[in-house]
Amino acid sequence: MTSVGNKYIKISSPSPHVLLLELNRQPVNAFSAEFWNEYGCTFDALARHPDDIRAVVLSSALPKVFTAGIDFQGLMKLGAGEAAMDPARRALLTRDDILDIQHAIAAPERCPIPVIAAVHGIVIGLGIDIISACDVRYTASDARFSIKEVDMGLAADVGTLAHLPKITGNHSLARELAFTGRTFSSDEAEKLGLVSRVVEGGRDAVVTVALQLAKDIASKSPVAVIGTKHLLLHARDHSVAENLQYTATWNSAALQATDLEQAVKAGMAKLKGSPTFLPLRPKL
C-alpha cells in the first residue's frame, strides 16, 4: 500500500506492513464532524483491510501542531437547530452527538492492530482524548499538552477522563491537570505516564522513532500481536481470574497457527533476521 489520500488524513506505507496516518486539516487540525467521522472510519476499516497491515503510527502532517482540539465553531452549528427544543429532547440529541464523537475517537482502541501515537507541537483538548485511545504514546520534546475542556466550561467527555486513571500512574497529577487545564510539557507528560518516551526534537524526530518501533512490531507474529493487544484490553476491564480463563480460550485457538512453529524454528536455528509469517487474511 503506497499512498492513499483522504480529505483530512494522509495515509502512506513507509515500510512493509506499516501504515503512517497523518492528521492534515489546516491550519491547526481542529476536528469538525466531518474530520472525526473520517478519523473513526479510517481506523475501523483497518480491521478488515485486505493489505497485510501489522502496525500503525498516528501523527500530524503539520510541523508545529498535532491538534488544537475540537473545532468549536463547527460544534456550535451542530446544536443550532436545538435551541427551541425542551431541555429533555435537547439533552437526548446532545448525548447522541457526544456518543458519536466518543465512538470515532475511540477507534484506535477498537482497531486490532497496535497504534503508536507520535505527537509533537500543540496537543490540546481532543488531542489528549485521541492519544489516550492509542496503545503506545511517544512525544517530541517540543510538545505542549493541555486538558483544556475545563477552561471551556465543561468536563472532558470524549475519553481523557475515562482513560487517564487506567493508563497513567500518577493520579494526583492527572487530577491536577484535569482540574486546572494548565499547559504541561513533554517531560511532565512522561512523569504522568501519558507517554512512554520523549524524543529530542520535533515532528520528524518522533515520527522516525515511532516508525522504527512499528517496523519492529510488524516483524513479529501478527497472530501473537493482535492477541496480545486484545488480551491486554480484556485484562484492563476484567479481574485477573476472568482474564486467565479468557486467555486460555483465546490461545487454545491461536496456538494452532503456524506462527509458533516458525518462531521456534527460527530461534533454534539462530537465523538472521525475523521469520516470515503468513498474513492474517490471505488475499482472495
CA-CA distance, 26 to 14, in Å (whole number)?
Answer: 23
CATH 1.10.12.10 positions along the chain are 222-269
| Phi (first) and psi of residue 154, to 5 degrees | -150, 165
Cβ partners under 8 Å of residue 175, min gap 6: none
Residue type at position 254: A
Tens digit of each residue's pLDDT, the chain (284 residues): 434 448 999 999 999 999 999 999 999 999 999 999 999 999 999 988 888 999 999 999 999 999 999 997 766 665 566 667 888 988 899 899 999 999 999 999 999 999 999 999 999 999 999 999 999 999 999 999 999 999 999 999 999 999 999 999 999 999 999 999 999 999 999 999 999 999 999 999 999 999 999 999 999 999 999 999 999 999 999 999 999 999 999 999 999 999 888 887 777 776 666 788 999 887 75
| Phi (first) and psi of residue 261, to 5 degrees | -60, -45
Residue owning grid cell 464532524: 33
Q: Give the residues across from 198 on adjacent strands.
A: 139
Question: Under the phi-then-psi rule, with left for phi > 0, alpha for psi from -120 to 50, and beta for the rest, what region is 271?
Answer: beta
Cβ partners under 8 Å of residue 165, min gap 6: 171, 174
CATH architecture of 222-269: Orthogonal Bundle (1.10)
Q: Which CATH superfamily is domain 3-218 in?
A: 2-enoyl-CoA Hydratase; Chain A, domain 1 (3.90.226.10)
CATH 3.90.226.10 positions along the chain are 3-218
